[in-house]
Amino acid sequence: MKKIANYLLPAICLVAIVFSVAAFNKAGAATTVAAAASAPAGQPVDLTFAAEKALPSVVHIKYVQNSKIKTVDVQSDPFSDFFSDPFGGFFGRGNGGTQKRQVQTPRRTATGSGVIISADGYIVTNNHVVDGADELTVTLNDNQEHSARIIGTDKTTDLALIKIDGKNLPAITIANSNDIKVGEWVLAVGNPLGLNNTVTAGIVSAKARSLGANGVESFIQTDAAINAGNSGGALVNTRGELVGINAMLYSQTGSYSGYGFAIPTTIMNKVVDDLKKYGTVQRAMIGIQGSDVKNYVDMQKEQGKEIDLGTMEGIYVAKVVEDGAAADAGIKEGDVITAIDGEKVTRMAELQEVIAKKRPGDKVTLTYLRDKKKKTETVTLKNEQGNTKVVKNADLDVLGANFREVTEAQKKQLGINYGLEVIKVNSGKMKEAGISKGFIIQKVNNRNVTTINELQDIVKEASTSREPVLYIQGMWPTGKKAYAAVPLSE
Protein backbone atom coordinates (compact mmCIF):
# COMPACT_ATOMS: atom_id res chain seq x y z
CA MET A 1 0.00 0.00 0.00
CA LYS A 2 0.97 3.59 -0.38
CA LYS A 3 0.91 5.39 2.92
CA ILE A 4 -0.20 8.99 3.37
CA ALA A 5 0.91 11.30 6.11
CA ASN A 6 2.82 14.41 5.26
CA TYR A 7 4.18 12.46 2.32
CA LEU A 8 3.41 9.47 0.12
CA LEU A 9 5.44 6.29 -0.13
CA PRO A 10 5.04 3.17 -2.30
CA ALA A 11 3.12 0.49 -0.50
CA ILE A 12 4.94 -2.54 -1.74
CA CYS A 13 6.77 -4.36 0.98
CA LEU A 14 10.29 -2.95 0.38
CA VAL A 15 13.15 -3.39 2.84
CA ALA A 16 13.22 -0.19 2.29
CA ILE A 17 -10.25 -4.26 -19.27
CA VAL A 18 -11.78 -6.12 -23.44
CA PHE A 19 -11.77 -7.08 -19.62
CA SER A 20 -12.94 -10.58 -18.73
CA VAL A 21 -15.64 -11.15 -16.23
CA ALA A 22 -15.70 -14.52 -14.59
CA ALA A 23 -19.05 -16.32 -14.65
CA PHE A 24 -21.24 -15.41 -11.74
CA ASN A 25 -21.89 -18.30 -9.42
CA LYS A 26 -25.67 -18.24 -9.11
CA ALA A 27 -25.76 -21.04 -6.61
CA GLY A 28 -23.17 -19.22 -4.51
CA ALA A 29 -25.15 -16.00 -4.75
CA ALA A 30 -28.23 -17.78 -3.53
CA THR A 31 -26.24 -19.26 -0.66
CA THR A 32 -25.00 -15.82 0.29
CA VAL A 33 -28.46 -14.29 0.15
CA ALA A 34 -29.82 -17.12 2.25
CA ALA A 35 -27.01 -16.71 4.76
CA ALA A 36 -27.60 -12.99 4.98
CA ALA A 37 -31.34 -13.53 5.40
CA SER A 38 -30.82 -15.99 8.23
CA ALA A 39 -28.37 -13.82 10.14
CA PRO A 40 -29.78 -12.46 13.41
CA ALA A 41 -31.03 -8.89 13.23
CA GLY A 42 -28.31 -6.40 14.00
CA GLN A 43 -25.50 -8.92 13.39
CA PRO A 44 -22.89 -8.57 10.62
CA VAL A 45 -23.45 -10.57 7.44
CA ASP A 46 -21.61 -13.92 7.14
CA LEU A 47 -18.39 -13.10 5.27
CA THR A 48 -17.05 -16.65 4.87
CA PHE A 49 -18.56 -17.10 1.39
CA ALA A 50 -16.96 -13.86 0.16
CA ALA A 51 -13.57 -14.91 1.51
CA GLU A 52 -13.75 -18.39 -0.06
CA LYS A 53 -14.84 -16.86 -3.36
CA ALA A 54 -12.15 -14.18 -3.53
CA LEU A 55 -9.04 -15.82 -2.04
CA PRO A 56 -8.15 -18.03 -5.05
CA SER A 57 -8.19 -14.97 -7.35
CA VAL A 58 -5.69 -12.90 -5.36
CA VAL A 59 -2.00 -13.51 -6.03
CA HIS A 60 1.31 -12.65 -4.42
CA ILE A 61 3.72 -10.63 -6.60
CA LYS A 62 7.47 -10.58 -6.01
CA TYR A 63 9.35 -7.68 -7.59
CA VAL A 64 13.06 -7.74 -8.38
CA GLN A 65 15.13 -4.84 -9.66
CA ASN A 66 18.65 -5.91 -10.50
CA SER A 67 21.77 -4.02 -9.56
CA LYS A 68 22.65 -1.43 -12.22
CA ILE A 69 25.35 1.10 -13.03
CA LYS A 70 23.84 4.58 -13.23
CA THR A 71 25.29 7.98 -14.05
CA VAL A 72 24.29 10.60 -11.51
CA ASP A 73 25.08 14.25 -10.80
CA VAL A 74 26.75 14.94 -7.45
CA GLN A 75 28.02 18.11 -5.84
CA SER A 76 31.64 18.88 -6.68
CA ASP A 77 34.27 18.09 -4.06
CA PRO A 78 37.09 20.67 -4.06
CA PHE A 79 39.61 17.86 -3.48
CA SER A 80 38.21 15.40 -6.03
CA ASP A 81 40.54 16.53 -8.81
CA PHE A 82 43.46 15.18 -6.79
CA PHE A 83 42.07 11.68 -6.45
CA SER A 84 40.89 9.03 -8.86
CA ASP A 85 37.83 6.86 -8.36
CA PRO A 86 38.97 3.23 -8.11
CA PHE A 87 35.80 2.26 -10.02
CA GLY A 88 36.47 4.76 -12.81
CA GLY A 89 33.44 6.77 -11.81
CA PHE A 90 34.82 10.35 -11.75
CA PHE A 91 33.88 12.21 -14.91
CA GLY A 92 35.21 15.65 -14.10
CA ARG A 93 33.60 18.87 -13.11
CA GLY A 94 30.21 19.70 -14.62
CA ASN A 95 28.20 22.89 -14.84
CA GLY A 96 26.92 24.47 -11.65
CA GLY A 97 29.41 22.84 -9.33
CA THR A 98 28.37 19.26 -10.07
CA GLN A 99 30.17 16.17 -11.24
CA LYS A 100 28.98 13.06 -13.02
CA ARG A 101 29.69 9.79 -11.27
CA GLN A 102 28.82 6.20 -11.95
CA VAL A 103 27.19 4.45 -9.03
CA GLN A 104 26.06 0.89 -8.64
CA THR A 105 22.53 0.60 -7.33
CA PRO A 106 21.73 -2.28 -4.96
CA ARG A 107 19.53 -5.18 -5.96
CA ARG A 108 16.03 -4.44 -4.68
CA THR A 109 13.18 -6.79 -3.89
CA ALA A 110 9.62 -6.05 -2.88
CA THR A 111 6.27 -7.75 -2.64
CA GLY A 112 2.69 -6.80 -3.43
CA SER A 113 -0.61 -8.30 -4.49
CA GLY A 114 -2.63 -8.71 -7.69
CA VAL A 115 -6.04 -9.91 -8.84
CA ILE A 116 -6.70 -12.44 -11.61
CA ILE A 117 -9.37 -10.95 -13.89
CA SER A 118 -9.38 -13.54 -16.69
CA ALA A 119 -8.94 -17.31 -16.84
CA ASP A 120 -6.07 -16.95 -19.33
CA GLY A 121 -3.84 -15.05 -16.92
CA TYR A 122 -4.46 -11.31 -16.99
CA ILE A 123 -3.80 -9.78 -13.58
CA VAL A 124 -4.50 -6.26 -12.32
CA THR A 125 -2.25 -4.66 -9.74
CA ASN A 126 -0.89 -1.22 -8.87
CA ASN A 127 1.64 0.57 -11.04
CA HIS A 128 3.85 1.14 -8.01
CA VAL A 129 4.01 -2.63 -7.44
CA VAL A 130 5.68 -3.28 -10.82
CA ASP A 131 7.30 0.04 -11.76
CA GLY A 132 10.98 -0.50 -12.57
CA ALA A 133 10.88 -4.27 -12.14
CA ASP A 134 13.31 -6.46 -14.05
CA GLU A 135 11.63 -9.64 -12.85
CA LEU A 136 8.11 -10.36 -11.64
CA THR A 137 7.14 -13.66 -10.03
CA VAL A 138 3.49 -14.41 -9.36
CA THR A 139 2.51 -16.99 -6.77
CA LEU A 140 -1.03 -18.29 -6.89
CA ASN A 141 -3.16 -19.16 -3.91
CA ASP A 142 -2.20 -22.84 -4.40
CA ASN A 143 1.51 -21.90 -4.31
CA GLN A 144 2.14 -22.39 -8.04
CA GLU A 145 4.71 -19.87 -9.35
CA HIS A 146 4.69 -18.10 -12.72
CA SER A 147 6.88 -15.48 -14.36
CA ALA A 148 4.86 -12.43 -15.39
CA ARG A 149 5.28 -9.82 -18.11
CA ILE A 150 3.97 -6.26 -18.03
CA ILE A 151 1.25 -5.56 -20.61
CA GLY A 152 0.88 -1.91 -19.70
CA THR A 153 0.97 0.57 -16.85
CA ASP A 154 -0.75 3.84 -16.00
CA LYS A 155 0.87 6.10 -13.44
CA THR A 156 -2.05 8.53 -13.51
CA THR A 157 -4.40 6.03 -11.88
CA ASP A 158 -1.66 3.86 -10.33
CA LEU A 159 -2.85 0.76 -12.18
CA ALA A 160 -0.96 -1.91 -14.09
CA LEU A 161 -1.90 -4.95 -16.18
CA ILE A 162 0.39 -7.97 -16.16
CA LYS A 163 0.08 -11.44 -17.70
CA ILE A 164 1.07 -14.97 -16.81
CA ASP A 165 0.69 -18.04 -19.01
CA GLY A 166 -2.16 -20.16 -17.76
CA LYS A 167 -5.51 -21.75 -18.43
CA ASN A 168 -8.65 -22.08 -16.35
CA LEU A 169 -7.27 -19.73 -13.70
CA PRO A 170 -9.66 -18.63 -10.92
CA ALA A 171 -10.72 -15.23 -12.29
CA ILE A 172 -12.63 -13.01 -9.95
CA THR A 173 -16.13 -11.71 -10.73
CA ILE A 174 -16.02 -7.95 -11.33
CA ALA A 175 -18.84 -5.86 -9.88
CA ASN A 176 -19.83 -2.27 -10.60
CA SER A 177 -18.27 -0.19 -7.86
CA ASN A 178 -20.96 2.45 -8.35
CA ASP A 179 -23.39 0.02 -6.71
CA ILE A 180 -21.64 -0.18 -3.35
CA LYS A 181 -22.90 2.02 -0.56
CA VAL A 182 -21.31 3.74 2.39
CA GLY A 183 -21.69 1.43 5.37
CA GLU A 184 -21.64 -1.74 3.25
CA TRP A 185 -19.41 -4.59 4.42
CA VAL A 186 -16.28 -5.29 2.35
CA LEU A 187 -13.21 -7.51 2.58
CA ALA A 188 -9.63 -6.58 1.78
CA VAL A 189 -7.73 -9.59 0.38
CA GLY A 190 -3.97 -9.55 -0.11
CA ASN A 191 -0.51 -10.28 1.22
CA PRO A 192 0.33 -7.72 3.91
CA LEU A 193 3.62 -7.73 5.79
CA GLY A 194 4.61 -11.09 4.33
CA LEU A 195 1.42 -12.71 5.64
CA ASN A 196 0.10 -14.22 2.42
CA ASN A 197 -3.58 -14.94 1.75
CA THR A 198 -4.83 -12.56 4.40
CA VAL A 199 -8.44 -11.40 4.64
CA THR A 200 -9.61 -8.44 6.72
CA ALA A 201 -13.11 -7.02 7.06
CA GLY A 202 -14.59 -3.56 7.41
CA ILE A 203 -17.12 -1.24 5.85
CA VAL A 204 -17.09 1.32 3.07
CA SER A 205 -16.28 4.47 5.01
CA ALA A 206 -16.63 6.94 2.13
CA LYS A 207 -16.73 7.12 -1.67
CA ALA A 208 -15.21 9.46 -4.27
CA ARG A 209 -12.40 10.38 -1.91
CA SER A 210 -9.61 12.50 -3.38
CA LEU A 211 -6.19 12.57 -1.73
CA GLY A 212 -3.98 14.31 -4.29
CA ALA A 213 -1.82 11.22 -4.67
CA ASN A 214 -2.62 10.40 -8.31
CA GLY A 215 -3.60 12.42 -11.36
CA VAL A 216 -6.99 10.73 -11.52
CA GLU A 217 -8.57 9.40 -8.35
CA SER A 218 -11.93 8.73 -6.80
CA PHE A 219 -11.08 6.31 -4.02
CA ILE A 220 -13.30 3.97 -2.08
CA GLN A 221 -12.36 4.49 1.55
CA THR A 222 -12.58 1.52 3.90
CA ASP A 223 -11.71 0.71 7.47
CA ALA A 224 -10.78 -2.89 6.59
CA ALA A 225 -7.21 -3.27 7.83
CA ILE A 226 -4.61 -3.02 5.06
CA ASN A 227 -0.86 -2.72 5.31
CA ALA A 228 2.26 -2.73 3.17
CA GLY A 229 1.95 -5.65 0.75
CA ASN A 230 -1.81 -5.22 0.28
CA SER A 231 -1.10 -2.99 -2.76
CA GLY A 232 -2.81 -4.36 -5.85
CA GLY A 233 -5.01 -6.70 -3.82
CA ALA A 234 -8.77 -7.02 -3.94
CA LEU A 235 -11.51 -5.10 -2.19
CA VAL A 236 -14.59 -7.31 -2.50
CA ASN A 237 -18.24 -7.11 -1.53
CA THR A 238 -20.10 -9.72 0.51
CA ARG A 239 -20.61 -11.83 -2.63
CA GLY A 240 -16.84 -12.01 -3.18
CA GLU A 241 -17.03 -9.73 -6.23
CA LEU A 242 -14.30 -7.22 -6.98
CA VAL A 243 -15.26 -3.61 -6.30
CA GLY A 244 -11.80 -2.05 -6.04
CA ILE A 245 -8.02 -2.48 -6.17
CA ASN A 246 -6.40 -1.62 -2.84
CA ALA A 247 -3.84 1.09 -3.41
CA MET A 248 -2.85 3.04 -0.33
CA LEU A 249 -3.32 3.56 3.34
CA TYR A 250 -3.52 6.59 5.57
CA SER A 251 -0.87 6.45 8.23
CA GLN A 252 1.65 8.50 10.12
CA THR A 253 3.63 5.39 11.03
CA GLY A 254 3.61 3.33 7.83
CA SER A 255 1.24 0.79 9.35
CA TYR A 256 -2.55 0.57 9.37
CA SER A 257 -4.19 3.21 11.50
CA GLY A 258 -7.80 3.19 10.43
CA TYR A 259 -8.29 3.88 6.73
CA GLY A 260 -7.36 2.33 3.42
CA PHE A 261 -8.16 3.42 -0.11
CA ALA A 262 -9.07 1.40 -3.21
CA ILE A 263 -9.34 2.30 -6.89
CA PRO A 264 -12.93 1.59 -7.99
CA THR A 265 -13.65 -0.95 -10.73
CA THR A 266 -15.34 1.77 -12.79
CA ILE A 267 -11.91 3.30 -13.32
CA MET A 268 -10.05 -0.03 -13.43
CA ASN A 269 -12.22 -1.49 -16.22
CA LYS A 270 -11.50 1.40 -18.61
CA VAL A 271 -7.77 1.42 -17.90
CA VAL A 272 -7.43 -2.34 -18.39
CA ASP A 273 -9.49 -2.27 -21.59
CA ASP A 274 -7.30 0.49 -23.05
CA LEU A 275 -4.06 -1.21 -22.08
CA LYS A 276 -5.16 -4.40 -23.82
CA LYS A 277 -6.43 -2.65 -26.96
CA TYR A 278 -3.99 0.22 -27.41
CA GLY A 279 -1.05 -0.34 -25.08
CA THR A 280 -1.69 2.99 -23.41
CA VAL A 281 -4.67 4.66 -21.74
CA GLN A 282 -6.86 6.80 -24.00
CA ARG A 283 -7.39 9.56 -21.51
CA ALA A 284 -10.20 12.03 -22.16
CA MET A 285 -9.68 15.61 -21.01
CA ILE A 286 -12.46 18.04 -20.21
CA GLY A 287 -10.02 20.97 -20.13
CA ILE A 288 -10.67 22.69 -16.84
CA GLN A 289 -8.93 23.27 -13.56
CA GLY A 290 -11.01 23.65 -10.45
CA SER A 291 -11.96 22.51 -7.00
CA ASP A 292 -14.91 21.48 -4.89
CA VAL A 293 -17.27 24.43 -4.39
CA LYS A 294 -17.05 24.10 -0.61
CA ASN A 295 -13.25 24.26 -0.68
CA TYR A 296 -13.34 27.33 -2.93
CA VAL A 297 -15.89 29.14 -0.74
CA ASP A 298 -13.96 28.30 2.43
CA MET A 299 -10.76 29.66 0.88
CA GLN A 300 -12.50 32.89 -0.07
CA LYS A 301 -13.84 33.27 3.47
CA GLU A 302 -10.32 32.94 4.85
CA GLN A 303 -9.41 35.93 2.68
CA GLY A 304 -12.37 37.90 4.08
CA LYS A 305 -14.53 37.51 0.99
CA GLU A 306 -18.18 36.43 1.00
CA ILE A 307 -19.07 34.31 -2.03
CA ASP A 308 -22.54 33.14 -3.13
CA LEU A 309 -22.42 30.77 -6.07
CA GLY A 310 -25.99 29.63 -5.69
CA THR A 311 -24.93 26.22 -4.38
CA MET A 312 -22.48 24.64 -1.98
CA GLU A 313 -22.12 21.48 -4.08
CA GLY A 314 -20.37 20.96 -7.40
CA ILE A 315 -17.09 21.91 -9.05
CA TYR A 316 -15.96 25.52 -9.25
CA VAL A 317 -14.18 26.21 -12.56
CA ALA A 318 -11.05 28.16 -11.68
CA LYS A 319 -9.43 27.96 -15.13
CA VAL A 320 -10.46 26.88 -18.63
CA VAL A 321 -7.70 25.41 -20.76
CA GLU A 322 -7.26 27.32 -24.01
CA ASP A 323 -8.51 25.31 -27.03
CA GLY A 324 -9.66 22.57 -24.66
CA ALA A 325 -12.97 20.71 -24.75
CA ALA A 326 -14.67 22.93 -22.17
CA ALA A 327 -13.49 26.11 -23.87
CA ASP A 328 -14.90 24.91 -27.21
CA ALA A 329 -18.26 24.37 -25.49
CA GLY A 330 -18.29 27.86 -23.97
CA ILE A 331 -17.55 26.96 -20.35
CA LYS A 332 -15.99 29.91 -18.52
CA GLU A 333 -14.04 30.60 -15.38
CA GLY A 334 -16.42 31.03 -12.45
CA ASP A 335 -18.97 28.50 -13.72
CA VAL A 336 -20.06 25.77 -11.32
CA ILE A 337 -20.53 22.27 -12.76
CA THR A 338 -23.36 20.50 -10.96
CA ALA A 339 -24.12 17.45 -13.15
CA ILE A 340 -22.66 15.37 -15.98
CA ASP A 341 -24.90 13.37 -18.31
CA GLY A 342 -27.76 14.11 -15.96
CA GLU A 343 -26.02 12.65 -12.92
CA LYS A 344 -25.36 14.97 -10.01
CA VAL A 345 -21.72 15.64 -9.16
CA THR A 346 -20.87 17.25 -5.84
CA ARG A 347 -17.07 17.21 -5.92
CA MET A 348 -14.13 16.97 -8.28
CA ALA A 349 -13.41 13.29 -7.60
CA GLU A 350 -16.87 12.33 -8.84
CA LEU A 351 -16.33 14.28 -12.06
CA GLN A 352 -12.92 12.67 -12.51
CA GLU A 353 -14.41 9.21 -12.09
CA VAL A 354 -16.99 9.83 -14.83
CA ILE A 355 -14.44 11.33 -17.25
CA ALA A 356 -12.01 8.49 -16.52
CA LYS A 357 -14.48 6.09 -18.15
CA LYS A 358 -14.55 8.11 -21.39
CA ARG A 359 -12.27 8.30 -24.44
CA PRO A 360 -11.29 11.28 -26.60
CA GLY A 361 -14.12 12.00 -29.02
CA ASP A 362 -16.83 10.96 -26.58
CA LYS A 363 -19.50 13.56 -25.83
CA VAL A 364 -20.80 14.45 -22.37
CA THR A 365 -23.54 16.82 -21.26
CA LEU A 366 -22.52 19.29 -18.60
CA THR A 367 -25.04 21.06 -16.40
CA TYR A 368 -23.64 24.15 -14.71
CA LEU A 369 -24.52 27.41 -13.01
CA ARG A 370 -23.41 30.77 -14.37
CA ASP A 371 -24.41 33.71 -12.22
CA LYS A 372 -26.72 31.25 -10.41
CA LYS A 373 -28.57 30.46 -13.65
CA LYS A 374 -28.71 26.85 -14.82
CA LYS A 375 -27.24 26.07 -18.24
CA THR A 376 -26.47 22.90 -20.22
CA GLU A 377 -23.81 22.31 -22.88
CA THR A 378 -22.57 19.29 -24.82
CA VAL A 379 -18.79 18.84 -24.60
CA THR A 380 -16.68 16.76 -26.98
CA LEU A 381 -13.77 15.44 -24.95
CA LYS A 382 -10.20 15.70 -26.27
CA ASN A 383 -6.94 13.91 -25.58
CA GLU A 384 -3.97 15.53 -23.90
CA GLN A 385 -2.63 16.63 -27.29
CA GLY A 386 -5.79 18.64 -27.99
CA ASN A 387 -7.51 16.40 -30.55
CA THR A 388 -9.77 13.34 -30.61
CA LYS A 389 -7.39 10.82 -32.20
CA VAL A 390 -6.30 7.55 -30.65
CA VAL A 391 -2.96 8.05 -28.90
CA LYS A 392 -0.51 5.18 -29.18
CA ASN A 393 2.88 4.57 -27.65
CA ALA A 394 5.50 5.25 -30.29
CA ASP A 395 8.25 2.70 -30.80
CA LEU A 396 11.83 3.43 -31.77
CA ASP A 397 10.84 2.48 -35.33
CA VAL A 398 9.17 5.89 -35.68
CA LEU A 399 12.63 7.46 -35.54
CA GLY A 400 13.80 5.50 -38.57
CA ALA A 401 17.28 4.90 -37.19
CA ASN A 402 19.49 2.31 -35.54
CA PHE A 403 21.60 2.96 -32.47
CA ARG A 404 24.37 1.46 -30.37
CA GLU A 405 26.04 2.45 -27.14
CA VAL A 406 29.25 4.42 -27.62
CA THR A 407 32.45 2.42 -27.40
CA GLU A 408 35.27 2.88 -24.92
CA ALA A 409 37.39 4.32 -27.72
CA GLN A 410 34.73 6.91 -28.52
CA LYS A 411 34.44 7.85 -24.88
CA LYS A 412 38.18 8.44 -24.66
CA GLN A 413 38.40 10.31 -27.96
CA LEU A 414 35.48 12.65 -27.28
CA GLY A 415 35.88 13.00 -23.53
CA ILE A 416 32.44 11.62 -22.79
CA ASN A 417 31.23 8.82 -20.59
CA TYR A 418 27.93 7.77 -22.13
CA GLY A 419 25.74 8.18 -25.20
CA LEU A 420 24.13 6.41 -28.16
CA GLU A 421 25.66 6.54 -31.62
CA VAL A 422 23.35 6.74 -34.64
CA ILE A 423 24.72 3.96 -36.86
CA LYS A 424 22.06 4.02 -39.61
CA VAL A 425 19.33 6.44 -40.73
CA ASN A 426 16.46 5.45 -43.00
CA SER A 427 13.28 7.41 -43.67
CA GLY A 428 11.70 8.64 -40.47
CA LYS A 429 11.68 11.36 -37.86
CA MET A 430 15.48 11.46 -37.39
CA LYS A 431 16.12 12.09 -41.08
CA GLU A 432 13.44 14.78 -41.17
CA ALA A 433 15.17 16.53 -38.25
CA GLY A 434 18.56 16.50 -39.99
CA ILE A 435 20.22 13.86 -37.83
CA SER A 436 22.44 11.50 -39.78
CA LYS A 437 24.79 8.58 -39.24
CA GLY A 438 27.54 9.24 -36.70
CA PHE A 439 25.64 11.62 -34.46
CA ILE A 440 25.95 10.80 -30.77
CA ILE A 441 22.87 11.31 -28.59
CA GLN A 442 23.59 12.19 -24.99
CA LYS A 443 20.39 13.74 -23.69
CA VAL A 444 16.76 13.54 -24.75
CA ASN A 445 14.16 15.76 -23.09
CA ASN A 446 16.81 16.71 -20.54
CA ARG A 447 17.43 13.09 -19.48
CA ASN A 448 20.74 11.30 -19.86
CA VAL A 449 20.61 8.49 -22.41
CA THR A 450 23.03 5.64 -21.79
CA THR A 451 21.15 2.65 -23.23
CA ILE A 452 18.72 1.91 -26.07
CA ASN A 453 16.10 0.89 -23.52
CA GLU A 454 16.31 4.32 -21.90
CA LEU A 455 15.76 5.97 -25.29
CA GLN A 456 12.78 3.67 -25.93
CA ASP A 457 11.22 4.64 -22.60
CA ILE A 458 11.62 8.35 -23.35
CA VAL A 459 10.08 7.97 -26.82
CA LYS A 460 7.08 6.11 -25.41
CA GLU A 461 6.55 8.68 -22.68
CA ALA A 462 6.88 11.66 -25.04
CA SER A 463 4.57 10.18 -27.69
CA THR A 464 1.58 10.25 -25.34
CA SER A 465 2.39 13.57 -23.66
CA ARG A 466 0.82 16.98 -24.29
CA GLU A 467 3.92 17.95 -26.29
CA PRO A 468 5.02 14.90 -28.33
CA VAL A 469 8.52 16.12 -29.18
CA LEU A 470 12.02 14.82 -28.50
CA TYR A 471 14.54 17.54 -27.66
CA ILE A 472 17.87 15.92 -28.44
CA GLN A 473 21.30 17.09 -27.28
CA GLY A 474 24.49 15.48 -28.50
CA MET A 475 27.57 15.88 -30.66
CA TRP A 476 29.10 14.97 -33.99
CA PRO A 477 32.22 12.78 -34.25
CA THR A 478 34.29 15.96 -34.49
CA GLY A 479 33.24 16.93 -30.99
CA LYS A 480 30.96 19.73 -32.17
CA LYS A 481 27.85 19.91 -29.98
CA ALA A 482 24.43 20.04 -31.63
CA TYR A 483 20.75 20.17 -30.77
CA ALA A 484 17.63 19.01 -32.60
CA ALA A 485 13.88 18.86 -32.08
CA VAL A 486 12.18 15.71 -33.37
CA PRO A 487 8.34 15.93 -33.49
CA LEU A 488 6.67 12.56 -32.99
CA SER A 489 3.22 13.58 -34.20
CA GLU A 490 2.22 14.03 -37.82
Indicate which residues carry an active-site annotation: 128, 158, 231
Separation CA 106–CA 104 (nearest Å): 7
Q: What is the DSSP letter of 356?
A: H
Pairing type for strands 108-116 and 58-65 reads antiparallel
Distance from chain centroid for Cα 349: 16
Q: What is the DSSP letter of 325?
A: H
Distance from chain centroid for Cα 170: 25
Residue 145 · residue 201 · CB < 8 Å: no
Residue 146 · residue 165 · CB < 8 Å: yes
Q: What is the DSSP letter of 274?
A: H
- When computed from its CA atoms, the radius of gyration of the chain, rounded to whole angstroms, is 26
The Cα diameter of the chain in Å comes to 85
Write the CB contacts of 138 (distance below 8 Å, at least 6 apart in sequence): 59, 60, 61, 62, 114, 123, 145, 146, 147, 148, 162, 164
Write the CB contacts of 290 (distance below 8 Å, at least 6 apart in sequence): 296, 315, 316, 317, 318, 319, 337, 348
Quick one: which of 427, 462, 464 has its CA closest to 446? 462
Residue 432, Ramachandran bin (φ over 0: left; ψ between -120 and 50: alpha; else beta) = alpha
Separation CA 97–CA 113 (nearest Å): 44
